[in-house]
Amino acid sequence: MGKFQVKFCILLCWALTSMYSDAQREYFIQRKNLTWVDARNYCQACFKELVTLTPDNSQTLARIINSDHWIGLRKNFNFKNNSGDLTSTVASYTETYFTTHYINDSDSSSPIMNWTQWANGDRLAFQNWYPGWPLPKPSPKPPNKTVCCSCSCTCPARPTTPMTTNAEFTTPNTTTTQSGHNVTSWSHDPTETTEFTPDFTSTDESTTHVTGTKNMTTQRTTPYFSTSAPWTTAEMPLAAQCEKSPVPEPQEPEDEDDSNDKNYIEDSCVAMLSFGPWIEKSCLELLPFICYEDRFMGQVNVTNITFESANLTWMVAPGDISHYRVEVKGQKDNKTWVFDYTGLTHGLSNLTAGTSYSVQVFPVKCKRDLNPENATFYTIPKAVTNLTVSSVEKNSVFLSWEKPEGNVDFYRLTYETNTVKVTTETETVKDLIPGTPYNFTVVSGVNDASKWSYEAHVSACTKPDKVYNLTVSNNTDHSMVVRWDRPVGNFTDIRVVAKNSSGTSLFNATVNHTQQHETVTGLPPATHIFISVTVRVNEGLVGETVNIDSFTTPGPISNLILNTTNDSLTATWLPPNGSALNFTVELSLDQTLVNTKNVSDTNITFINLKNAANYSVAVYAVSGQFKSTAESTYKFTLPNPPSPPKATSISNDSITFAWNAPGNTSTPTYGVKLNSSFWGQSWSNTTSDTKFTFSGLTSGTNYSFSVYTIADGQKSASVGCANFTVPELQEISLSMLCSSSEPLLCDNNTTRTAVLNQLNSTFRNLLDGHIDWRFEQ
């Protein structure tokens, strides 16, 4: 044994555990020195078991250790003659295990086959002995030298092994150890091939063929999976059967026999050398050891999640768990709770709504954390508050709300069949149908969409649309017809209102939604009418108002009166009823339109007209684009007067006047007038000549003369002059008697002059301008 020098770890309690995962199996190399049984107990208490080696883990573990370590293999697990440190747990485990497998054994008293299984009960499917191991049981000393030279051995009935029910182990019938000792051969049919499946499945070499024709020369270079199956050792309980045919005892060197007997260990346990192969050792030796444990894959269930609480339930971890450490971490606020629990449930409270929490439950075994059981969950977010409709348009609705207490990752807005993800607290919902009621639902959500808050509801009706292509037609003096194209979407009715320019309502009607026109009646004539059409939903909600203006038609004018001069015409008339009136005046001469004027006054004067011409005037009342019927009449312009007359010859009783004919007047006649207001004389006459003589006149009298043109029965304005007839002077003497109470007053010159002046003045007033007279004294 001295040649297997091993290095031991100096630090006794350096409980360094190295973990090497092999299909979720973890290995823990323990540096403390224990007997094999104590080591196993320790592994069972704090891990699962002493290690079970496989081709996969063997080499890896060999690289890590640097001295001999106990592994989970011993010759006979049922061997009771040990140190007595077996705990009841171990004992019961072992017993239970074997009991199970002995139940079907027909001969329960037959010896147990050694080297059959690992500490954890796995079949011994892989071996990696150091050459020469395991040591065979030394054969009993032959009684004398004359022993049998040939031994005919018969295999007993094969005991049922716990490994398999149909696999057979085949071994070479002859093996030779390095130490030169023959081992008992186990006769076997070499042609039979046995195949067995190792207990692990993570390797590609899942099957291994072992044939009986191979010899037992152990190879150090293939430590993994020795194809030499050493089922060769003291498995032969059949020495007694060989007694009947003794053979001569061969000459054996006594020394070698002694050495084998010395090394042989009755109750052997197996240690792995620092470079991998195995050797037997006394189970009571103190060695470090390797435990293993399967990685615990637990699960935490989170139930009864509310806004602020949840219940955790986790799986029980295998082995002697002292407690579970629960770590809960809020992802938003980094708030962490740590609890130690021995039970398997825990209620969380005081959580924040709508927040992600991660939970880790660490089962603690021998002060060591096992692989944590994990869960993440969101608490339920709270419902939004103050969900309101801020404004409504015909195609859109603007919603706003307030973020609830706690956390929210986003909101989900649903209406009709639509769902919108919103990250702000406001949303404008577009592409809606006008005039339609909508129900909006907003819920708070968390990132993984696992939890939703209670719903918040609000409803709103979009505004109705407006009418299109609004027109007015069929205007009369009291009505008109309004037409439109239907609005898009829904609405209940349409309101039509007519007003005048000062805003006074003249008409007011509501038409149902199927109608597309309305007759506006009861309007005053010739008025500017303003019509507005509004689409409504349920009376309260109105769409955009569409406006149009038009006019009622005017009635005819009345009392058209024309006044003419020789070159102008003035028309006056009375307007019809109405407020929006203009007039179109058409002036025609001989059925030919010569002038058109639009006026707002009720009179018009046309100038520069022809004289003595028959002008006709037609007047229309106009309101907007509408004209009333025409009212018309005609009138001649006056002829031109002749040129101013002159007296061409004067006598004491006659005067001849002459004048020139007016231009532009053909064959006129003339009216002549002569009068003297002093004498009360007047004459009139007509003539076609351009001179006229009045006779029989009073001499010395001032006569005024006027002449005018007569054309087509029209008289022109008069032109005139005045002239005295030649006087025939007659003297008229006046005698005046002066009497005065005042003496000598009549002799006073001054008085006489005053009287004469007064008399002169009296005559002047009476005669001047009429009569040719003189006053002399």
Instruction: Give the shortest CB-74-to-ligand NAG separation in angstroms.
Output: 8
* DSSP 8-state symbol, 30: E
Q: How many CB atoms lie within 10 A of CB 669?
A: 14
- Total of residues contacting ligand NAG (CB under 6 A): 55
536 binds ligand NAG, rule: CB under 6 A: no
* DSSP string computed for 95-144: HHHHHHHHTT-S-TTSPPPSS-B-TTS-B-----BPTT-SPPPPPPPPSS
Q: Is the CB of 35 or the CB of 640 nearer to ligand NAG? A: 35
Query: Using CB under 6 A, which residues numbered 423 to 462 contact ligand NAG?
Result: none
Query: Using CB under 6 A, which residues numbered 64 to 83 contact ligand NAG?
Result: 75-76, 79
Query: Using CB under 6 A, which residues numbered 329 to 358 contact ligand NAG?
Result: 333-334, 345, 347-350
Q: Which of 34, 43, 62, 113 binds ligand NAG (CB under 6 A)?
A: 113
Q: Is the CB of 129 or the CB of 703 nearer to ligand NAG? A: 129
Query: Do residues 406 and 417 make contact, with C-beta atoms less than 8 angstroms apart?
Result: no
298 binds ligand NAG, rule: CB under 6 A: yes
Q: Is the CB of 204 or the CB of 254 nearer to ligand NAG? A: 254
> 100: Cβ–Cβ under 8 A, 6 or more apart, which residues?
none
Residue 405: half-sphere exposure toward Cβ, Cα within 13 Å:
5
> 182: Cβ–Cβ under 8 A, 6 or more apart, which residues?
174, 175, 176
Query: Do residues 235 and 186 make contact, with C-beta atoms less than 8 angstroms apart?
Result: yes
Query: Do residues 521 and 504 make contact, with C-beta atoms less than 8 angstroms apart?
Result: no
769 binds ligand NAG, rule: CB under 6 A: no
- Binding track over 115-144 against ligand NAG, x by CB under 6 A: ----------------------------xx
Q: How many CB atoms lie within 10 A of CB 40?
A: 28
109 binds ligand NAG, rule: CB under 6 A: no
Q: Is the CB of 255 or the CB of 731 nearer to ligand NAG? A: 255
- Binding track over 24-53 against ligand NAG, x by CB under 6 A: -------xxx--------------------
Q: Is the CB of 78 or the CB of 669 nearer to ligand NAG? A: 78
d(CA 272, CA 128): 9
Q: Which of 21, 100, 111, 577 binds ligand NAG (CB under 6 A)?
A: 111
Residue 65's φ and ψ, nearest 5 degrees, are -80, 155
Look at the block and give the residue holding tokens 């009345």: 558
Instruction: Give the shortest CB-167-to-ligand NAG separation in angstroms.
Output: 19
Q: Is 429 strand, coil or helix?
A: strand
234 binds ligand NAG, rule: CB under 6 A: yes
d(CA 193, CA 126): 17
d(CA 618, CA 606): 13
- Binding track over 244-283 against ligand NAG, x by CB under 6 A: ------x-x-------------xx----------------
Q: Is the CB of 107 or the CB of 747 nearer to ligand NAG? A: 107
146 binds ligand NAG, rule: CB under 6 A: yes
d(CA 127, CA 116): 11
Residue 99's φ and ψ, nearest 5 degrees, are -55, -45
Instruction: Give the shortest CB-490-to-ligand NAG separation in angstroms.
Output: 48
Q: How far is CA 653 from CA 235, 659, 671, in A?
A: 199, 20, 21
627 binds ligand NAG, rule: CB under 6 A: no
315 binds ligand NAG, rule: CB under 6 A: yes
The H or E element spanning position 394 is none
Q: Is 36 strand, coil or helix?
A: helix
Q: Is the CB of 144 or the CB of 591 nearer to ligand NAG? A: 144
Which parts of 393-425 are beta strand (E)? 397-402, 410-415, 418-422
Instruction: Give the shortest CB-250-to-ligand NAG separation in angstroms.
Output: 6
d(CA 136, CA 176): 11
114 binds ligand NAG, rule: CB under 6 A: yes
The end-to-end CA distance of the chain, in Å, is: 204
Q: Which of 89, 92, 187, 322 binds ligand NAG (CB under 6 A)?
A: 187
- The one segment of 214-222, 444-452, 584-592, 650-658 that binds ligand NAG by CB under 6 A: 214-222
- The one segment of 305-313, 405-413, 428-436, 668-676 that binds ligand NAG by CB under 6 A: 305-313
Residues in the chain: 777
Q: Which of 38, 373, 493, 518 binds ligand NAG (CB under 6 A)?
A: 373
Q: Which of 156, 237, 248, 769 binds ligand NAG (CB under 6 A)?
A: 237
CA-closest candidate to residue 534, choices 433, 435, 429: 435
Residues of this chain that interact with ligand NAG (CB under 6 A) are 8-10, 12, 31-33, 75-76, 79, 111-114, 143-144, 146, 173-174, 182, 187, 213-215, 217, 234-235, 237, 250, 252, 266-267, 286, 297-299, 301, 303-304, 309, 311, 313-315, 333-334, 345, 347-350, 371-374
